[in-house]
Amino acid sequence: MFLIQFALNMEASSKFLNTELIDRHKDSLNKTNSPANKEDLFASITNNLIKNNTSIVSHYYVDPLIQEITEKTGGFVGDSLEMAKFGSQCDSKNLVVCGVKFMAETAKILSPEKNIFVPTLESTCSLDLGCPAPELKALKDKYPDRVLVVYANTSAEVKSMSDWVVTSSIAKEIIEDLHLEGKKILWAPDKYLGSYLQKETGADMILWDSACVVHEEFKADGIRNLKALHPDAGVLVHPESPSEVIDMADAVGSTSHLIKASQELQFKKFIVATDKSIFYKMSQFSPDKEFYEAPTGGVGSSCKSCAHCPWMGLNSLQNLDECVVELKNEIDLNDNLIELAKKPLDKMIQFNA
């Protein structure tokens, strides 16, 4: 069992958090839970979804109001694997994906006959930005004997050159399977998830050097201090977090897995190391339990992401309404790219089935 860290000539992933994005993110945090005209927007969105034969699919990290309207209109809220599956299962001609770009691209690849829209085309992901296709291609060429496994948080182009695509809810099982078959792995882009998988499965993995700007900020010391105040709290951690944070977890896994753990574990309080919009679902399932954000910046310092994805935060009720009224911000991928990227995605869906 060994690990080779492939260090790209890249700055820390926090370079993607520029000042303008942080300001808009803080603005979106302020707007959350203070809808000036929630009822009007809910009515407008509902009417236009019906009129335009459209459904919404949303991630647990988007504004709770978006999660609420998604469910009220018969859409679906889930983790990234469940979102991918929902797209091809629903009957609507049009789908609005509230999350980030890779989720909408995945929906398009798996359901090319549908029109896929997003509330904003700006909503991306630091892992996607940190893994440009030409650089990954160069690394792939350097290791022709390795199976290229990429995280779903990547562009369609990156998926198109990969052998496997995985989400955090199925990554361990797929890597375990490949390892049992004697395969050596080239993993991209999340180094923390990669090293967690390597530790769990014993697989021989070379890791790309990139991280999620939100999960990378969670601090083990901060969690220890918070646990001192709440010694009876359980700790829930998404595996995009650093290993010292993962080591403190009572449950590690995808967003769906963490929600399930918050229901099933006996704790009455939880410290949660993932995007805080997930508290909406956790509290819905367990209204009697308390949820605390895992600390990010350390004692006395200010946080950058503040446990909320800046790109997920760009989705709002307002731009969702504009999107369903005008059917704008369509995801457009060429047929060849769809055909190539569909292969590893189909393998993941079949493996899951």
Q: Is 309 in the site for ligand SF4 (CB under 6 A)?
A: yes
Q: Name the segment binding ligand SF4 (CB under 6 A); options: 27-35, 212-220, 228-236, 315-323.
A: 212-220
Task: Identify which of residues 105 and 240 has a Cβ nearer to ligand SF4 in the complex.
Answer: 240
Q: Single out the residue of 212, 278, 323, 331 in contact with ligand SF4 (rule: CB under 6 A).
A: 212
What is each CA distance from 321 to 21, 29, 47, 114, 315, in whole angstroms?
Answer: 22, 18, 10, 19, 10
Cα of 184 vs its chain's centroid, Å:
26
Q: Single out the residue of 212, 213, 233, 259 in contact with ligand 13P (rule: CB under 6 A).
A: 212
Which of ligand SF4, ligand 13P, none lies near 314, with the C-beta cut-off 5 to 8 A by kind?
Answer: none
Q: Single out the residue of 17, 307, 312, 323 in contact with ligand SF4 (rule: CB under 6 A).
A: 312
Residue 351, CB-side half-sphere exposure with 13 Å CA sphere: 21
Q: Is 79 in the site for ligand 13P (CB under 6 A)?
A: yes
Structure tokens at 27: 């603005």
Q: Single out the residue of 167, 241, 315, 319 in contact with ligand 13P (rule: CB under 6 A).
A: 167
Closest contact distance (angstroms) between CB of 312 and ligand 13P is 8
Closest contact distance (angstroms) between CB of 273 and ligand 13P is 11
Task: Identify which of residues 42 and 102 has a Cβ nearer to ligand SF4 in the complex.
Answer: 102
Q: Is 125 in the site for ligand SF4 (CB under 6 A)?
A: yes
CA angle 138, 143, 145 (to 5 degrees): 140
Which of ligand 13P, ligand SF4, none lies near 213, with the C-beta cut-off 5 to 8 A by kind?
Answer: ligand SF4
Which secondary-structure segment (H or E) carries 234?
Answer: strand 233-237
* Cβ proximity of 213 and 15 under 8 Å: no
Q: Single out the residue of 241, 254, 277, 319 in contact with ligand 13P (rule: CB under 6 A).
A: 254
Q: Is 58 in the site for ligand 13P (CB under 6 A)?
A: no
Q: Single out the residue of 32, 58, 67, 80 in contact with ligand 13P (rule: CB under 6 A).
A: 80
Q: Name the segment binding ligand 13P (CB under 6 A); options: 33-41, 166-174, 314-322, 339-347.
A: 166-174
Q: Single out the residue of 49, 214, 271, 345 in contact with ligand SF4 (rule: CB under 6 A).
A: 214
Q: CA quadruple 115, 120, 125, 129: dihedral positive or negative?
A: positive
Structure tokens at 286: 């367990």
Q: Is 153 in the site for ligand SF4 (CB under 6 A)?
A: yes
Q: CA quadruple 226, 229, 233, 234: dihedral positive or negative?
A: positive
Closest contact distance (angstroms) between CB of 133 and ligand SF4 is 17
Q: Single out the residue of 58, 70, 126, 168 in contact with ligand 13P (rule: CB under 6 A).
A: 168
Q: Is 348 in the site for ligand SF4 (CB under 6 A)?
A: no
* Cβ proximity of 220 and 271 under 8 Å: no
Which of ligand 13P, ligand SF4, none lies near 79, with the C-beta cut-off 5 to 8 A by kind?
Answer: ligand 13P
Closest contact distance (angstroms) between CB of 275 and ligand 13P is 7
**Binding footprint of ligand 13P on the chain (CB under 6 A):** 79-80, 153, 167-169, 212, 238, 240, 254-255
**Binding footprint of ligand SF4 on the chain (CB under 6 A):** 100, 125-127, 153, 212-214, 240, 275, 309, 311-312
